[in-house]
């Protein structure tokens, strides 16, 4: 993969594919992380005299021009982040309006084009739509790791049409995740939480081959416990997933990967804020209660184990962290990981929408070695899949190498 740092962009029109799919409430961006993390690439391109044609998807308007999915509010956030820059928002990502705005650009200017997904050609990875987009650039930069699991016109087909490069955020994500998963310092502990085993089978299977310890948390842990004959009361549990659990455990066993399950739990009769809670050993969960968080014994065990591992990969909370007080287990373990990282004893990498929200709420995110901007793409990476957005950049490099 070629880096944007290695190309002369002076006076060139650079199509920059970003992931500006940020949370929005009442027309205001409520979390600017993805925009903040894009700034180094924007600033580099500006310093190097590029004309930046910024493209992104926003939400899932499914090929229709639906006002609530406009990227316009993002232009305001960008202007606030880069007050010196000339930033123009254009109502469409193809056609005459976009063409005219790009023609009028000076080096250092930024034109933000409207949501790519207003056009069905984007998600269809349509050749003609990719041609339309490619016309606007002399070269193409993909800085949207978090959209790299999509083979869309702006992440895949376009890379065959222009010299293609990875942006700084894309490179940072790939390097951090490769270091944690492909070439880590051992032992490696993976924390995999979330509600359903069935959505994380591929992740667990792949991690069973790569990690030394997998801590299973969240609702998924109940399914594992149930498969071991534990009575989990009214807990969220996939009773028909016993076969899957056994298969994953078999794979882990073959690769000498230890699977760690909770030994105690915080339970309640309902998943409601402020509800009365109890603590129970896993072998004595009351029939009328639900497991909603890991208990203190499990937290202490995980903290002890953390002290012995060198790399931590985290995807998925340990409990129902959105509702107090069921965040405590996740927060306590996250803070311990952050502390060990700060002391230089641990490499910690977290990713996935819920996980990042939990790490931030715990005040642990800033001390983690790396927090990915990706949700779905991070999961597919953990599954060991090739991401089409990265493959497209790599294919382009191979072709150039051959000619």
Residues at the site binding ligand 3PG, with contacts judged by CB under 6 A:
19, 21, 60, 146-147, 150, 375-376
Cβ-proximal residue to ligand 3PG, closest one: 21
List, in sequence order, every residue forming a beta bridge with 111; answer none if it has no partner. Answer: 53, 88
Whether 57 has a binding-site annotation, put simply, is yes
Residue number with CB closer to ligand 3PG (40 or 353): 353
Shortest reach from residue 356's CB to ligand 3PG, in Å = 11
Q: Which is nearer to ligand 3PG, 60 or 246 (CB)?
A: 60
The partner residues of 279 in beta bridges, in order of sequence, read 266
Say whether 45 counts as a known binding-site residue.
no
Joined together, the tokens standing for residue 152 give 């869309």
Q: What is the Cα–Cα distance from 403 to 395, expressed in whole angstroms? A: 13
Task: Let me know: does 266 contact 326? Beta carbons within 8 Å.
Answer: yes
Ordered alpha helix ranges (H), 22-71: 33-47
Residues annotated as catalytic (active site), given as ranges:
34, 196, 353, 376
At closest approach, how far in Å is the CB of 20 from ligand 3PG?
Answer: 8
Least CB distance from residue 320 to ligand 3PG, whole Å?
A: 22
Q: Is 256 annotated as a binding residue?
A: no
Do residues 146 and 19 touch, judged by C-beta distance below 8 A? Answer: yes
Angle of helix 242-254 relative to helix 201-210, nearest 10 degrees, comes to: 20
H/E stretch holding 188: strand 188-192
Q: Tell whether residue 58 is among the known ligand binding residues.
A: yes
Whole-number minimum distance, CB 23 to ligand 3PG, in Å? 9
Residue 352 assigned to a binding site: yes
Q: How far is the CB of 149 from ligand 3PG (least distance, A)?
A: 7
CA 160, CA 113: separation in Å to the nearest integer?
21
Closest approach of ligand 3PG to the CB of residue 123, in Å = 8
Q: Is 150 annotated as a binding residue?
A: yes
Q: Which is nearer to ligand 3PG, 41 or 146 (CB)?
A: 146
Other CB atoms within a 10 A radius of the CB of residue 251 amount to: 17
Cβ proximity to ligand 3PG: between 17 and 150 the closer is 150
Nearest CA to 374 out of 2, 3, 19 is that of 19
Question: Is 249 or 354 the residue whose CB approaches ligand 3PG more closely?
Answer: 354
- The CB-of-60 to ligand 3PG minimum distance in angstroms stands at 5
Query: Is 200 annotated as contributing to ligand binding?
Result: yes
- 162-196 burial, b at 16+ Cβ within 10 Å, e below that, comes to bbbbbbbbbbbbbebbebbbeebeeebbbbbbbbe
Helix (H, G, I), strand (E, B) or coil at 84: coil
Which of 395, 396, 390, 3 is closest to 162 using CA atoms?
396
Residue among 308, 207, 210 at smallest CA distance from 220? 207
Q: Which residues, 6 or more positions from 397, have their beta carbon under 8 angstroms from its beta carbon? A: 1, 2, 164
Of 123 and 332, the one with the shorter C-beta distance to ligand 3PG is 123
**346 is an annotated ligand-binding site residue:** no
Angle at 298 between CA 271 and CA 363, to 5 degrees: 70
The token pair that represents 397 in the structure block? 């490099």
Q: Using the minimum distance from each CB to ligand 3PG, give the nearer residue, 23 or 250.
A: 23
Name the binding residues for ATP.
Answer: 200, 322, 352-355
Name the binding residues for substrate.
Answer: 19-21, 34, 57-60, 117, 150
């Amino acid at each position: 993969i070629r880096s944007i740092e290695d190309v002369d962009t002076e006076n060139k029109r650079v199509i920059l594919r970003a992931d500006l799919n940020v949370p929005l409430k009442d027309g205001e961006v409520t979390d600017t992380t993805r925009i903040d993390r894009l700034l180094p690439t924007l600033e580099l391109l500006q310093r190097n005299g590029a004309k930046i044609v910024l493209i992104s998807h926003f939400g899932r308007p499914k090929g229709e021009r639906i006002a609530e999915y406009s990227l316009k509010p993002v232009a305001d956030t960008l202007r606030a982040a880069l007050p010196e820059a000339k930033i123009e928002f254009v109502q469409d990502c193809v056609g005459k309006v976009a063409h005219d705005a790009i023609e009028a650009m000076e080096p250092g200017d930024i034109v933000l084009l409207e949501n790519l997904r207003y056009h069905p050609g984007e998600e269809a990875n349509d050749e003609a739509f990719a041609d339309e987009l490619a016309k606007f650039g002399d070269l193409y930069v993909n800085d949207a790791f978090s959209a790299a699991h999509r083979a869309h016109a702006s992440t895949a087909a376009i890379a065959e049409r222009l010299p293609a490069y990875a942006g700084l955020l894309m490179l940072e994500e790939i390097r951090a995740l490769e270091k944690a998963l492909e070439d880590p310092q051992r032992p490696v502990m993976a924390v995999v939480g979330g509600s359903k085993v069935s959505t994380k089978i591929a992740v667990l299977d792949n991690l069973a081959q790569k990690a030394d310890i997998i801590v299973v948390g969240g609702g998924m842990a109940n399914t594992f416990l149930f498969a071991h004959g534990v009575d989990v009361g009214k807990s969220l549990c996939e009773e028909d997933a016993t076969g899957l659990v056994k298969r994953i455990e078999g794979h882990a066993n073959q690769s000498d990967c230890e699977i760690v399950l909770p030994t105690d739990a915080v339970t309640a009769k309902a998943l409601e804020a402020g509800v009365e809670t109890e603590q129970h050993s896993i072998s004595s969960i009351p029939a009328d209660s639900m497991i909603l968080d890991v208990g203190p014994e499990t937290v202490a065990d995980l903290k002890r184990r953390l002290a012995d591992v060198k790399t931590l990969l985290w995807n998925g909370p340990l409990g129902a962290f959105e509702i107090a007080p069921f965040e405590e287990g996740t927060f306590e373990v996250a803070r311990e990981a952050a502390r060990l990282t700060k002391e230089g004893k641990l490499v910690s990498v977290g990713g996935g929408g819920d996980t990042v929200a939990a790490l931030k709420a715990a005040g642990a995110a800033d001390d983690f070695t790396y927090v990915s901007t990706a949700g779905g793409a991070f999961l597919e990476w953990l599954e060991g899949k090739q991401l089409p957005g990265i493959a497209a950049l790599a294919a382009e490099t191979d072709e150039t190498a051959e000619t």
